[in-house]
Amino acid sequence: MASLIDKSPCEDLLPVITAGAQLAEAQPGPVTSVAPFKGRQAAVARALAAGGLGWPEVGRAVVAPAGRCLWAGRGVAFVTGLVPQGLEDLAALTDQSDGWAVLRLEGAQASAVLARLCPLDLRAAVFAPGHVARAPLGHMPAILHRTGAEAFEIWVFRSMAGTAVHELAVAMQGVAARG
């Protein structure tokens, strides 16, 4: 019988540190995809509110001490940090915990690094903390979540973790070289 070893998606790849930016792996805890059944979105929002969260607006995140709820696409949100309770009859729930690599990019040059890979306007005045977007990161689909003035979470499929780290590291080196 095979002996499997539990490894994080970015094990042995991170951290990457350059002048003005640091890239590390984030540990969001359990990740559950929540897709409300037709006509049940208000009930899902109430159930999440009862648990200390809420349903996010399009392109936003709800952050609370209990966990987070990130907009993840049309009619879908990711609940992180806890497993939502009481939604079984209201929404399709899928454990996504092992399917994503979550990277944390922070520092004064974080926006400049992402600007080399992502076609979004990531200036803080436009993409403020709490904003979430699905966008390409180089040639990979990604979810971007601005968590602070100089900090982003970058979600990519686990199978693309190595490529994402490589692309971001090259962009970080390029931005640092301009300094």
How many domains are there within the chain?
2
Please state the φ and ψ torsions of residue 114, each to the nearest 5 degrees: -65, -30
pLDDT of res. 149: 96
Q: What is the pLDDT of residues 42-67, one digit of tens each?
A: 999 999 998 889 999 999 999 999 89
Whether residue 83 is predicted with pLDDT greater than 90 in this model: the reply is: no
Among 78, 95, 112, identify where a domain stops: 95
The H-or-E segment that residue 18 falls in is strand 16-18
Whether residue 18 is predicted with pLDDT greater than 90 in this model: the reply is: yes
- Is the domain of 107 the same as that of 119? yes
pLDDT of res. 52: 86
Residue 3, domain member (yes or no): no
Is the separation of the CB atoms in 163 and 151 below 8 Å? no
Is the separation of the CB atoms in 156 and 141 below 8 Å? yes
Whether residue 176 is predicted with pLDDT greater than 80 in this model: the reply is: yes
CA atoms of 145 and 166, how far apart (whole Å): 20
List the domain range (segments joined by +) for residue 68. Answer: 31-95
Q: Is the peptide bond before 30 cis (omega within 30 degrees of 0)?
A: no
pLDDT of res. 155: 98
Residue 82, domain member (yes or no): yes
Degrees, nearest 5: CA angle 90-38-42: 60
CA atoms of 115 and 117, how far apart (whole Å): 5
Q: What is the pLDDT of residues 86-135, one digit of tens each?
A: 899 999 999 999 999 999 999 999 999 999 999 999 999 999 999 999 99
Is the separation of the CB atoms in 79 and 68 below 8 Å? yes
Distances (CA, A) of 161 to 12, 23, 36: 11, 12, 29
Domain of 170, CATH number, reads 3.30.1360.120
Q: What pTM was computed for the model? A: 0.93
Contacts of 32 (CB under 8 A, 6+ apart): 78, 79, 80, 83, 84, 93, 94, 95, 96, 97
